[in-house]
Amino acid sequence: MAIEDSHVRRAAHLARLAISDDQASGFVDDLSRIIDMVDQLQSIDTTGISPLSHPLDATQRLRADEVTETNQRDTFQRCAPAVENGLYLVPRVVE
């Protein structure tokens, strides 16, 4: 399935990546080649094969419902770009 400019721009928007027009055309070329390679998958008959998400057939272990974490706000916010009164700051969000 061929990659078009609109695919790249849509993916870039969904992934919140700013791309210039120049970059977009470069990505169209790269992604086209990658998708061409990936499209080899279409030649295999996978009827009746269930998808494999994890390499081992393991199941989820469950954790006891216990509070094990303590307040580490100061530590965690030391690497935050903008905080005030313990809150992370972002440009105003319009609801």
Contact between 78 and other proteins (CB under 8 A)? Answer: yes
Q: Which string of b and e fits 43-69 if b means at least 16 CB within 10 Å?
A: eeeeeeeeeeeeeeeeeeeeeeeeeee
Which is nearest to 5 in space by CA: 41, 22, 34, 36?
22
Nearer to other proteins, 21 or 68 (CB): 68
Strand partners, 83: 88
Which residues does 82 contact at the CB level (< 8 Å), separation at least 6? Answer: 88, 89, 90
Q: What is the closest distance, in whole angstroms, from the C-beta atom of residue 89 to other proteins in the complex?
A: 4
Min dist. Cβ of residue 42 to other proteins (A): 7
CB of 25 to other proteins, least distance (A): 13
- Determine if 22 is a binding residue for other proteins (CB under 8 A): no
Interaction with other proteins in 41-60: which residues (CB under 8 A)? 41-42, 44, 46, 49-56, 58-60
75 belongs to the binding site for other proteins (CB under 8 A): yes
33 near other proteins, judged by CB under 8 A: yes
